[in-house]
């Protein structure tokens, strides 16, 4: 695996709904709503998210260190009253980016990647945490194609009063099947998302890649899912 050159301090390497991911040093990144370099504000979101960052730090601390969980180094002050979450930097970005930009890996590598996700999610669940937004966007790639799970901003701890603010992307979302959206079983939601991640890794493409999200939702609602027989020999 060849790593790319490390961008400059403060360079944005990812943008989410409420936070940036930016370079802090060679081995870590900052996740936050404002980017400051040498006392100057470079980029910012209009709405602060201090509570969400502290919540995510708490999730990481609760999970503890694990080979398949992104390492968190805590909150750091970037300016007066403004904090960012310092996280381990994935040298090869997230798994979806890698899939989109590179040829399909060998079967042993893909199976190991899929296993890493399952092992990581098993640890998350053993600690009483629901990830709530598992997808290849939130899986991060390291040397030897090993995968770590990250992005716990919307995750929920058992018996927590923190409001759920996110849900899975459409291709990772468990169909309602006659239930209210918010009443879908938590474990089944997580396992459906895990299965979708394993599909994306092993087939090297998202489920129904040529369809719009609304079309995918309709198919899922009708219990129509991607075939597991087409090209299975290449898996």
* Residues that are catalytic: 133
Residue 27 CA to residue 125 CA, distance in Å, equals: 28
Whose CA is closest to 164, among 184, 138, 144?
A: 184
Task: Give per-residue burial for 199-209: e unless 16+ CB within 10 Å, then b.
Answer: bbbbbbebbbe
Residue 24 CA to residue 8 CA, distance in Å, equals: 9
Q: Tokens 């474990």 map to which residue?
A: 187
* Cβ atoms of 156 and 132 closer than 8 Å: yes
SS3 state at 125 = helix
Q: Tokens 């400051």 map to which residue?
A: 36
Residue 143 CA to residue 153 CA, distance in Å, equals: 25
List CB contacts of 106: < 8 A, sequence separation 6 or more.
Answer: none
């Amino acid at each position: 695996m060849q790593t790319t050159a490390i961008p400059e301090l403060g360079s944005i390497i990812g943008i989410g709904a409420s936070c940036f991911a930016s370079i802090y040093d060679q081995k870590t990144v900052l996740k936050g709503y404002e980017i400051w370099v040498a006392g100057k504000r470079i980029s910012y979101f209009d709405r602060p998210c201090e509570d969400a960052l502290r919540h995510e730090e708490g999730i990481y601390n609760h999970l503890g260190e694990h080979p398949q969980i992104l390492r968190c180094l805590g909150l750091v002050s970037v300016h007066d009253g403004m904090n960012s979450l310092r996280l381990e930097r994935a040298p090869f970005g997230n798994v979806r980016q890698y899939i989109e930009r590179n040829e399909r890996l060998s079967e042993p590598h893909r199976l190991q990647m899929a296993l890493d996700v399952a092992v990581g999610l098993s640890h998350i669940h053993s600690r009483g945490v629901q990830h709530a937004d598992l997808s290849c966007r939130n899986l991060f790639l390291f040397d030897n194609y090993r995968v770590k799970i990250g992005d716990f901003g919307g995750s929920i701890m058992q018996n927590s009063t923190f409001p759920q603010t996110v849900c899975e992307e459409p291709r990772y979302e468990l169909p309602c099947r006659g239930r209210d959206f918010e009443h879908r079983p938590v474990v089944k939601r997580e396992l459906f998302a895990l299965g979708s991640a394993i599909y994306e890794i092993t087939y090297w493409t998202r489920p129904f890649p040529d369809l719009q999200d609304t079309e995918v939702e309709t198919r899922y609602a009708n219990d129509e899912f991607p075939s597991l027989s087409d090209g299975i020999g290449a898996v």
